[in-house]
Amino acid sequence: MESNAKSGFKWKIFRTVGPLLMALLLLGLLFLSTLRITPGYTKQQLRAFAMDSTSRASFVGYSVKQQAMADKSFLPIMGSSELQHLDPYFPSVYAEKYQTSWTPFLVGQPGTQSLTHYFWLNSVAPEMQHRKIVFIISPQWFVNRGILAPMFENFTSKGEIDMWLESANPKDVATQTLAARLLGFKTFDNDNAIKSALLSLQKGKAIDALTLATIQFSARVWKHEDLLFSRFNSQLTDKKNPLTQLSALTKKLPEKSDFTALDSQAYDEAAAASTSNPYRVSDTIWNKSLKNRYKQMSGYQNKYSYLQSPEYADFQLLLNAFAKNHDDVQFIIQPVNNAWYSYTGLSMQMMADFSTKITEQLTSQGFKNIADYTYNYDEPYFVGDTDHLGYRGWVAVDETITNFMKAKSQTNYTLNNAKYLSKDWQQMKP
């Protein structure tokens, strides 16, 4: 009797706990499996993601960008807040209207900078080999403090860090520099595996076997989690109807692509949409963001400088990733609105010095494709607000991208990390 009672008790426990254990076992097998556990996205869904630069989940995730970047028809356009300033002359609209052989895939949001882009790029490194890429540089990234920890944490996932650590070379000065940079954020103080790995790499030492195994397992789980739950991203993007918006904007462009005609049309439309202020800022942005506070902003930027910043070293890390992948990169340096910044006191000489410094860092290492629009600062409607490309600016970018995509790839790079990762370069003024 006692034996039967014990057996019955054990059976009740098994019936209660067994399904949970089985579910955990199956979930574990899914995470550890090398099989794809969700169907791939359709080309239409990927095109919607390509237009939707507002999705943080897609930026810090894996499945969307991994599948999209495996398709060579997508052209990554990497940048920050300017990628959300959609208008009829925006590259995505231009490509759709004139059915180019490339489809822009927008990579960037307000707050993304060189370091966040480094981890985005590294997480899909196999898919990014020998790619053409457009990269838009914002001078405003290069402030004295560089990227702030909250922005880095918002746009860099633990999974991306794990993927970098999996293959990080401890003897590489770029690896040592990046490890020290990450430790400075204190983001991973409570993650024993990552912190231990970073401390080792900072000293030029290999990650110990147990820590590395933990990191590899964590990276694998992250990929599988993202594959499982990324369908929610697709549903959110569908609700925004980015392709419907794209189609509507294409109707505002002429039937044939002619950059002179496009520039003329862009001038007229921008002038008609910027009548409420003397700074050539679009009426929408002026009324929403500046009208009620501009009187307090006179001269407030007279001490701003973009010449001394840890961002220069972060940018060099990104150049290392481009070179390692043999990517052909078209760099675009955004201008600012001189009419506005003359009022707020930003030095145009400082902007010219920034152009000189960042251009030297690029050209001296073999990155020759540079569209530097710094000196278009006083060209009417080239900038749409205070420091983002406007109608005429995007027309110029469309032409630059068209010529870039026609040209033969150039990927002969000679990196000088000793100079461009140094504190001296970060603090040097031209």
pLDDT at 12: 53
- Distance CA(315)–CA(212), nearest Å, equals 27
Alpha carbon 186 to its chain centroid, in Å, reads: 22
Instruction: Say which residue, 2 or 63, is predicted with more confidence.
Output: 63
Of 22-31, 101-110, 352-361, the least confident: 22-31
Rounded mean pLDDT, 54-65? 88
pLDDT at 242: 86
Helices marked H in 98-172: 114-123, 149-154, 158-167
pLDDT at 26: 43
Task: Give helix 311-325 / helix 173-185 axis angle, nearest 10°.
Answer: 140
Alpha carbon 170 to its chain centroid, in Å, reads: 25
Q: How many CA atoms lie within 13 A of 229 on its CB side?
A: 10
How far CA 77 is from CA of 90, 97, 121, 132, 137, in Å, comes to 11, 18, 12, 9, 11
- Distance CA(421)–CA(310), nearest Å, equals 9
Rounded mean pLDDT, 235-243? 69
Give which of 98, 50, 103, 99 is closest to 73, Cα–Cα.
103
Sign of the four-CA dihedral 276, 281, 285, 291: negative
What would the pLDDT profile of 8-43 be if each residue is shown by its tens digit? 555 555 455 555 454 445 455 454 544 444 447 889
- Residue 263 tokens read as 């520039």
| 56 Cβ neighbours under 8 A, 6+ residues apart | 109, 154, 155
Confidence of residue 235 (pLDDT cuts 50, 70, 90): low
What would the pLDDT profile of 206-215 be if each residue is shown by its tens digit? 999 999 999 9
- Distance CA(68)–CA(74), nearest Å, equals 7
pLDDT at 241: 81
Q: How many CA atoms lie within 13 A of 117 on its CB side?
A: 31
Radius of gyration of the chain (CA): 25
Report residue 255: phi and psi, to 5°.
Answer: -65, -35
Strand partners, 370: 331
pLDDT at 152: 96
Q: Which residues of 40-75 are buried (b: 16+ CB within 10 A; e: fewer)?
A: ebeeebbbbbbbbbbbeebbbbbbbbbbbbeeeebb
pLDDT at 312: 98
- Distance CA(144)–CA(306), nearest Å, equals 7
| 131 Cβ neighbours under 8 A, 6+ residues apart | 69, 72, 76, 325, 327, 328
Please tell me what DSSP assigns to residue 110: T
CB count in 10 Å sphere of residue 81: 16
Q: Which residue has the tokens 């032409």?
A: 399
Asked whether the predicted pLDDT for residue 252 surpasses 90, the reply is: yes
Of 53-57, 100-104, 173-177, the least confident: 53-57
Rounded mean pLDDT, 179-186? 95
pLDDT at 37: 46
pLDDT at 236: 56
What would the pLDDT profile of 62-103 be if each residue is shown by its tens digit? 999 999 999 999 999 999 999 998 999 999 999 999 999 999
> Are 219 and 159 contacting, i.e. CB atoms less than 8 angstroms apart?
yes
**Exposed, middle or buried: residue 143 (CB in 10 Å: 0-12, 13-18, 19+)?**
middle
- Distance CA(134)–CA(132), nearest Å, equals 7
Give which of 30, 33, 52, 27 is closest to 41, Cα–Cα.
52
| Whole-prediction pTM | 0.90
pLDDT at 113: 98
What would the pLDDT profile of 305-331 be if each residue is shown by its tens digit? 999 999 999 999 999 999 999 999 999
- Distance CA(134)–CA(140), nearest Å, equals 18
Report residue 394: phi and psi, to 5°.
Answer: -70, -35
Instruction: Say which residue, 225 or 122, is predicted with more confidence.
Output: 122
How far CA 207 is from CA of 159, 166, 295, in Å, comes to 17, 9, 55
- Distance CA(334)–CA(306), nearest Å, equals 13
| 153 Cβ neighbours under 8 A, 6+ residues apart | 185, 187
Percent of the chain clearing pLDDT 90 (strictly above) = 82
- Residue 311 tokens read as 């961002």
Confidence of residue 338 (pLDDT cuts 50, 70, 90): very high
**Exposed, middle or buried: residue 274 (CB in 10 Å: 0-12, 13-18, 19+)?**
buried
Every domain of the chain and the residues it spans:
43-427
